[in-house]
Structure 1
Amino acid sequence: MADLLIDNEFQTLRNRFKKDAEFLLNGVADNDNDEKSRESKEIKPLSRFNRHSVFWIMASVGLTYYTDFFPVLLRDANIKSWWFNIGVALLGVSLALALFSIVYLEWFRGIRQYDVQYPAIAPVTTAAFIAASCSFNIALWPVWSVFTPVILFTQFMGMVMFISLLG
């Protein structure tokens, strides 16, 4: 009896995944064609200014002000300078690769899908950024303790949202 129940559940799960796969391959379900076409006509492009962007930018500005972010980075003796310098170097690599991809490849050479022609750019940029964030967390831990990851993440999200408003 238990084997039959397990087989029945397995068959139900398999059918559900099969239906989901068909949906993903076709883009829409057969009975949803009319609804999807009406919805696609009514969709407007999202505004660059939204609550999400404003929240992260304001949170970043507030944290910068209340934590004295830049004066601490420049003058605090508790910062582990070796880790901080490693983080700055890795962040520089990450930003240089991002600027190379966006400015040179996309704007000047007109290559829209640079990840196809240069497949190593995205993983190297991501790895450099993750290593930089780890280095910054280690370097700044003596200053802000357990709040360090929250502060750095908020600063990162604020910068990402600010840059998205520019583009």
Structure 2
Amino acid sequence: MSGNLATLRNRFKRDAEFLMQTTPTEDEDEKKEKDVKPLPRINRHSVFWIMASIGVTYYVDFLRNIMENDDIKSWWFNVGLVLLGICLSLAMFCIVYLEWFKGIQHYDQEYPAIPPITTAAFIAASCSFNIALWPVWSFFTPLILFTQFMGVVMFISLLG
């Protein structure tokens, strides 16, 4: 039994030494990173979500329903707007102030509370909007809101 353990340990030791010898150096890693081409901004995925969002906006008459429909639960809608405002304010703080003016690329390391707060605010906002708009579109509400969200995210990714 102990002979098997010694053999196994020696095999792992040899494998570890082999892996240590064949790992690329940092210079090779940096060259590979430089050689990798960034993904194009406009791709099928982005175009699909933007077109789907436009189609949903037109088909369900999204903006007119938001502005004029009396079935919307206004309290939940207002809570969703406030939470979405918090989410967007934190995003603008990170992008505009921290990245552009301060030059901080990894703001999540400087301000570790921002990502979880933003995520929680967004999840709560989406729940609030689903509750508020459920009387208008019923079980289609989550699908409509998700499509709108993806369209906006893909559109913003084209701008940046």
TM-score under structure 1 length normalisation: 0.76
Long gaps (5+) in structure 1: 1-14
CA distance in 1, matches of 2:123, 2:131: 12
Say if 2:134 is the partner of 1:147. no
Q: What is residue 62 of structure 2 aligned with on the other side?
A: 69
Counterpart of 2:151 (choices 131, 146, 158) is 158
Question: Structure 2 vs 1, CA of residues 42 and 114 (structure 1 numbering), >3 Å: closer, same or farther?
Answer: closer
**Over residues 1-42 of structure 1, what are the superposed CA-to-partner deviations in whole Å (9 max), with x where a residue is unaligned?**
xxxxxxxxxxxxxx9xxx9xx9xxx8xxx599xxx98xx587
Q: What is residue 38 of structure 2 aligned with on the other side?
A: 45
Question: Structure 2 vs 1, CA of residues 43 and 118 (structure 1 numbering), >3 Å: closer, same or farther?
Answer: closer
Shift of 1:45: 2.1
Q: What is residue 84 of structure 2 aligned with on the other side?
A: 91
* Largest Rg, 1 or 2: 2
Amino acid in the other structure paired with 2:80: G
Counterpart of 2:118 (choices 93, 105, 125) is 125
SS of 1:96's equivalent in the other structure is: helix
**Over residues 111-146 of structure 1, what are the superposed CA-to-partner deviations in whole Å (9 max), with x where a residue is unaligned?**
111111111011000100000000000000000000
SS of 2:105's equivalent in the other structure is: coil
Give the total of aligned pairs. Answer: 138
CA distance in 1, matches of 2:107, 2:23: 38
Shift of 1:150: 0.2
- Percentage of matched positions with identical amino acids: 68
CA distance in 1, matches of 2:60, 2:23: 55
Shift of 1:94: 0.2
Long gaps (5+) in structure 2: 1-11
Amino acid in the other structure paired with 2:153: V
Shift of 1:46: 1.3
Shift of 1:44: 2.8
Q: What is residue 3 of structure 1 aligned with on the other side?
A: none
Q: What is residue 81 of structure 1 aligned with on the other side?
A: 74
CA distance in 2, matches of 1:51, 1:62: 16
**Over residues 33-91 of structure 1, what are the superposed CA-to-partner deviations in whole Å (9 max), with x where a residue is unaligned?**
xxx98xx5874321111000000000000000010000000000000000000000000
CA distance in 2, matches of 1:105, 1:82: 33
Counterpart of 2:51 (choices 44, 52, 58) is 58
